[in-house]
Amino acid sequence: MTSEVPGHWPYGERTPEVHPEFKADLNRITVGDPEPARPDGSPTPGHADRIMLRRELIALMKAAHSGTVRDIEYEQVRDGDIVVELKFPRPGNRGGWHFRLYAGVPNMPAVLVWVVASRKPDQRWDHRWNQIQNGHIRLAVHRFKEWITDRFAAQLRR
């Protein structure tokens, strides 16, 4: 079921599924990054800060599952096989980073497929931010297509 309310998450409530590489991505940009340099030059976050960041990103994922993401927190970045970009923090950035969670929205079952967790520098500190983001989107589309292919192949084997 999808929401018809303008400015709200239009994909409704969905059950999560995770691409095999998503969890490694999420760890890499949060708790698994021992000394993440910050583009804005602010102090390196401690371990507790990185755990909190991971919790905040997971809370955003849970909001997507329940269909309660705010309109400023997401953008559909691909039509057809729909891929959505969830944005954190909104508004602004954290230490010069914009964190992004990409999910595929399949037509078939009411699931949300988490495919890429990433971060990109704010445009004030890195002029390549758009190239970095486009690379993340391409990877998200690729992984979502892998998921679709695997799902259909599994159905054929039944």
Which amino acid type is present at position 125? W
| 1 within domain boundaries | no
- The count of structural domains within the chain is 1
Q: What is the pLDDT of residues 21-71, one digit of tens each?
A: 999 999 999 988 766 678 888 888 888 988 999 999 999 999 999 999 999
Alpha-carbon distance of 149 to 133, in angstroms, equals 24
What is this structure's pTM? 0.90
* 4 is a domain residue: no
Interior/surface letters 10-28, b for 16+ CB within 10 angstroms, e for the rest: bbeebeebebebbeebbee
Residue of 84, 79, 133, 121 lying closest to 104 (CA atoms): 84
Find the domain containing 105 and state its range.
Answer: 15-157
Task: Look at the alpha carbons of 40, 56, 115, 84 in this order and tell me if their dihedral is positive or negative.
Answer: negative
8 found inside a domain:
no
Query: For residue 9, is it within any domain?
Result: no
